[in-house]
Amino acid sequence: MLAQLDTIQTEALAAIAGITDEAALEEVRIAFLGKKGSLTAAAAGMRDVPAEQKKDVGQKLNEVREAITSALEATAAGLIAKKDAAAFANLDPTLPARPLPKGGLHPLSLVLDEAVKVLRRMGFALAEGPEIETEWHCFDALNTPADHPARNESDTFYFENGKLLRTHTSSVQIRTMEKETTPVRIIAPGSAFRRDEIDATHLSAFHQLEGLYVDRRVTLADLKGTLEYFFREIFGSKTEVRFRPHFFPFTEPSFEVDLKLQAAGRAAKWIEIAGCGMVDPAVFAEVGRKRGDAAYDPEKVTGFAFGMGLDRLAMILYGIPDLRLLIENDVRFLTQFR
């Protein structure tokens, strides 16, 4: 038995020495160590070995198995090393890596960051509210009568439970005044939704930036100064700003804000950019009724509010001709803003 095991070891090591590929390696492994392999068969012979020899034969069996296994492992490692060397033969590992494509911010994020930076410097804090709103926050509390066209099914997305997709960020004015006391000085960027036909200047989902400042003795001069400063920071210090009388249910007086802008090679043109006004006392009264206190007593507090379209701001700032470019995610468009 001991001699037989020696023979198996000699044969196995000789066979392993001649191996040049992985398939042959596996064949040899099976021939000696597999279920029907010669060493496995020899091990089965342990049964017939007389008891006094069992210890020696068992030890020898383990030695042979060990010798064959480690020879197989060493050969396998050698084959892998050879393969790796071949794979790296034509490769210069000292070459610099290929650069990864660099990401960038969406133009809307860029204008928003810019706008928020300027307004925060003036003491405005960020505020937010839900996109799925109640009619009360979106319309009633904002002094918008039941028969106002904005409340029409054809202009606003309603849910079956009576809630709606907010048509403007002005609802955040109400949300903020419900939980904060004066002075309130917030800006609220966010999405707004209207049932518009989609074209170059209209999307059914767009972005607004709302502002609200409420305290004692806030005046129209504060509103004008704030917005003039804001637009000059964004569009340049020589930008002309015009306040044109307008109507919003929740401000009185109300204005639309125009900027005089000059596209390259064209005559300067007034472009409408924002809505604004002094908070209507009816809004304070409704907020006070809901709060059940006098924090927004219309006899004591005044305030201004403004709202503008961020998409429009981006269009003007970057000369984007079609709003749809902002949502198509075409990298040829987006990479221009890196």
CB nearer to ligand PHE: give 9 or 226.
226
CB nearer to ligand PHE: give 12 or 279.
279
Q: List interacting residues with ligand PHE (CB under 6 A).
A: 168, 170, 248, 251, 275-277, 305-307
Question: Which residue is nearest to ligand PHE, using beta carbons?
Answer: 307
- What is the DSSP code string of 104-116? ---HHHHHHHHHH
Cβ of residue 134: shortest distance to ligand PHE, in angstroms?
16
Cβ of residue 133: shortest distance to ligand PHE, in angstroms?
13
Q: Rg for the chain (alpha carbons), in Å? A: 39
Cβ of residue 254: shortest distance to ligand PHE, in angstroms?
6
Nearest to 31 by CA among 1, 11, 59: 11
Cβ of residue 274: shortest distance to ligand PHE, in angstroms?
7
Identify any residues that bridge with 255 across adjacent strands, giving them in sequence order.
Answer: 245, 276
DSSP letter for 293, please.
Answer: S
Side by side, the strands of the sheet bearing 240-248 are 125-126, 184-193, 205-215, 302-309, 269-279, 251-261, 240-248
Cβ of residue 299: shortest distance to ligand PHE, in angstroms?
21
Can you tell me the distance from the alpha carbon of 169 to that of 155, in angstroms, rounded to the nearest whole number? 16
Q: Do the beta carbons of residue 51 and residue 27 sit within 8 Å?
A: no
CB nearer to ligand PHE: give 75 or 208.
208
Nearest to 46 by CA among 64, 61, 63: 61
